[in-house]
Amino acid sequence: MTRPGLRVAAYVIRQCAVPELLVFDHIGMPAAGTQVPAGGVGPDEELERAVLREVAEETGLSAATVVRKIAVEDKPHPETGQSRRTAFFFVRAPADTPDSWEHRVRGDGDDAGLAFACRFLPLPLRQPLADEQDAWLGRIDPLWTTRPAVG
């Protein structure tokens, strides 16, 4: 059974001196903004499998593990206005994951060929993510709620 408009998004956390969130920027597309891995769910695909697939496709990180689902958001697509439902997941990355890297998306999906600059940012974030993707970080830990820089 196909789930139209169903997506997953990953808060990939690496625990170092402070907890850090994996984000990426589209190389050559600054207007896309800083994002977390996210994307569609295939027909009959389990949400946990879909979120790990999206993390691997968009960042190349294959050693991540799902901790738990933290929120489901119903919000229209920012460009098309089409309705969509996104399940946000708390995902752990190994502490020895590199600080930053570039990844080119392979395959035949919508993102194929795109290049992403991946990096970890300390929590709480100082700037919101594109499309308010950071809105549910406080559900993992209230101290991780985005706090815009003062000044």
> What pLDDT is attached to residue 112?
78
State mean pLDDT over 120-145: 95
End-to-end CA distance of the chain: 50
Q: What value, to the nearest 5°, has the Cα angle with vertex 17 and ends 14 and 19?
A: 35
The pLDDT-based confidence of 24 (bands split at 50, 70, 90) is very high
Tens of pLDDT along 60-109?
999 999 999 999 999 887 777 788 899 999 999 999 999 999 999 886 77
Residue 121 neighbours by CB distance under 10 Å: 15
Over residues 45-62, the mean pLDDT reads 96
Q: What is the mean pLDDT of residues 13-20?
A: 95
Q: Of the ranges 23-27, 78-82, 116-120, which one carries the lowest mean pLDDT score? A: 78-82
> Which domains can be identified in the chain, with CATH numbers?
6-144 (3.90.79.10)
Kindly indicate the confidence band of residue 149, based on its pLDDT and cuts at 50, 70 and 90.
low
Specify the higher pLDDT residue, 13 or 107: 13
The stretch 32-59 carries a mean pLDDT of: 95
Q: For a pLDDT cut of 90, what percent of the chain falls above it? A: 75
